[in-house]
Amino acid sequence: MNTVQKENVPLTVLVIEDHPDQRDLLAIVLQREGYRVITAANGVEALERLETEKVQIALSDIMMPKMDGFELIKRIRSNPTLKNIYLILITARIQEGDRVRGLDLGADDYITKPFSFSELLARIRVGSRVVQYQQHLEYQTQVDSLTGLFNRRAFEKKIQEEFERSKRYRNPLSLLILDIDNFKMINDTYGHHGGDAALVKISETFREKTRQSDFPSRYGGEEFVLVLPETDQDSALQVAGKIHEAIRSCAFGTTARPFTLTVSIGVSSTSARFYTDWRELLDDADRALYLAKNSGKDRIEIWEPEKRTGQIQTSVHP
């Protein structure tokens, strides 16, 4: 995911219904309307599906075996990663108390059996509008307006998620911190407009040299960070080398006033040492960057407390 993008894909609806015929019929109706549909037979199965699927709307019966709709609402609303799902309860009960209970627990809407498909689809469309507006707000809070990359807030959320996933599945996770060398001189010489143009061009290099699964962000000022899931230290150093060389070979500025830039990069990886917290991984990448800056800039370093060995060293400056 190289930039923050508004998703132009069908919303995913999770249908939770213990009667197979009704479950299949609901799925067919929703699919015909262009929704992506996944199904579950009860609350327990629904939670399992939610672990692996990104769902925007859930349509759940109340009376189900193993876990009813009320308990499912509690579980979803108590999970930070699921709490924004739009929940619609389906109930054959006409008691007002059941409807009130469901809404109080966190359901967004309800529909009472028997119902027409036109009414159901109208309620789904309401949920879709709410979800899309939430996505728009989330987009606004995650994007860096200058570069189009993710911002620091989005990075910190992502690195936490990937760190936990790395621990759970025992896959390597690597992190790069990149800082533009002598950036103040660029601003002083070419003005802030020239500096901003350089930041935009560097962000484009990030997009060109990273995979779809990587997570590049603007950390602040002239610093960028890159989360590399399922990437060990050696592979991370290769990525850093490609970015480093690509930026060095770029022409910045205008035809009349061209200039070049170099960057310093710090690298850390869970494949190199054991970390108990994502902040430790970030701290080591930051220490490696500091070492690169203090060792002449325009280089890549990994933080090794005992060896302090630089991986790439050059002497080219803008």
C-alpha 41/C-alpha 66 separation (Å) is 10
Number of Cβ within 10 Å of residue 36's Cβ equals 16
Q: Are strands 223-229 and 215-220 parallel, antiparallel or unpaired?
A: antiparallel
Among residues 138, 222, 230, 304, the one annotated as catalytic is 222
Helix segments in 20-88, DSSP class H: 20-32, 43-52, 69-77
Catalytic residue list contains 164: no
End-to-end Cα spacing for the chain: 30
Looking at the DSSP assignment, which residues form a beta bridge with residue 258? 253
- Dihedral class, residue 170 (left if φ above 0, else alpha if ψ from -120 to 50, else beta): left
Question: Could you tell me which residues come within 8 angstroms of residue 30 by beta carbon, excluding any fewer than 6 positions away?
Answer: 13, 15, 37, 121, 124
Number of Cβ within 10 Å of residue 5's Cβ equals 10
Looking at the DSSP assignment, which residues form a beta bridge with residue 150? 143, 217
Alpha carbon of residue 89 to chain centroid: 29
What residues are annotated to the active site? 222
